[in-house]
């Protein structure tokens, strides 16, 4: 019987990868910062290896984020209190996440390279204006 990674471990790993990539940090550099090989970082990012609490704390320090970041945007189907059946959740539900697409990462990096705060704010407002409102957003000038 083959064991599959826990969906929560996969989600946390994707959040590690997202933050590391947004910072422009290699797996090797992150590994060195927390005393691991880049292969071990890869396993964390895939959810193959679980990240213990002390390692999660180290990662939050190196990546300059709160620990809660790793659990942000946890899909509803795995964030419930029922742990039996987690293995039945399709791994595919994590695929297609716009936050892990290269285009998204490049856009965020380019945005933060805009050094003038007023220009960056105008670009932000432009993108919000041309984008379709997300479900639940009222969209409007007071956002």
- Do 70 and 122 belong together in one domain? no
142 or 55, higher pLDDT? 55
- Do 93 and 112 belong together in one domain? no
Give helix then strand counts, H and E, for the chain: 7, 0
Task: Report phi then psi at 12, rounded to 5.
Answer: -60, -40
- Mean of all residue pLDDT scores within the chain: 81
> What total number of domains does the chain contain?
2
- Do 70 and 111 belong together in one domain? no
Helices (H), 5-62: 7-22, 27-33, 38-46, 53-62
**142 within domain boundaries:** no
- Do 12 and 63 belong together in one domain? yes
Within its chain, how far is the Cα of 28 from the centroid? 18
- Do 19 and 73 belong together in one domain? yes
Per residue in 69-104, pLDDT tens?
998 888 777 766 454 444 444 444 445 666 667 787
pLDDT value of position 92: 47
- Do 76 and 127 belong together in one domain? no
Contact by Cβ (8 Å): 137, 129: no
pLDDT value of position 108: 82
**CATH number of the domain that residue 48 is part of:** 1.10.260.40
pLDDT value of position 97: 65
- Do 105 and 130 belong together in one domain? yes
Please tell me the distance from the alpha carbon of residue 117 to that of residue 140, in angstroms, as a whole number. 22
- Do 93 and 107 belong together in one domain? no
Per residue in 5-40, pLDDT tens?
889 999 999 999 999 988 889 999 999 999 999 999
Please tell me the distance from the alpha carbon of residue 116 to that of residue 113, in angstroms, as a whole number. 9
- Do 36 and 63 belong together in one domain? yes
- Do 15 and 52 belong together in one domain? yes
pLDDT at residue 138 above 60?
no
Nearest to 46, CA basis, from 86, 1, 91:
91
Left (φ > 0), alpha (ψ -120 to 50) or beta: where does 35 sit?
A: left
Print the domain residue range for 123: 101-137
């Amino acid at each position: 019987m083959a064991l599959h990674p826990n969906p929560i471990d996969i989600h946390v790993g994707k959040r590690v990868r997202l933050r590391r990539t947004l910072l422009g940090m290699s797996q090797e550099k992150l590994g060195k910062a927390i005393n691991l090989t880049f292969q071990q970082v890869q396993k964390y990012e895939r959810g193959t290896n679980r990240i213990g609490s002390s390692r999660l704390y180290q990662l939050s320090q190196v990546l300059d984020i709160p620990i809660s970041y790793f659990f942000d945007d946890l899909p509803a189907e795995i964030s419930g209190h029922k742990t039996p059946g987690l293995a039945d959740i399709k791994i595919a539900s994590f695929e297609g996440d716009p936050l892990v697409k290269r285009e998204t990462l490049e856009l965020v990096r380019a945005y933060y390279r805009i050094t003038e705060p007023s220009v960056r704010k105008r670009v932000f407002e432009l993108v919000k204006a041309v984008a379709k409102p997300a479900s639940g957003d009222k969209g409007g000038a007071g956002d």
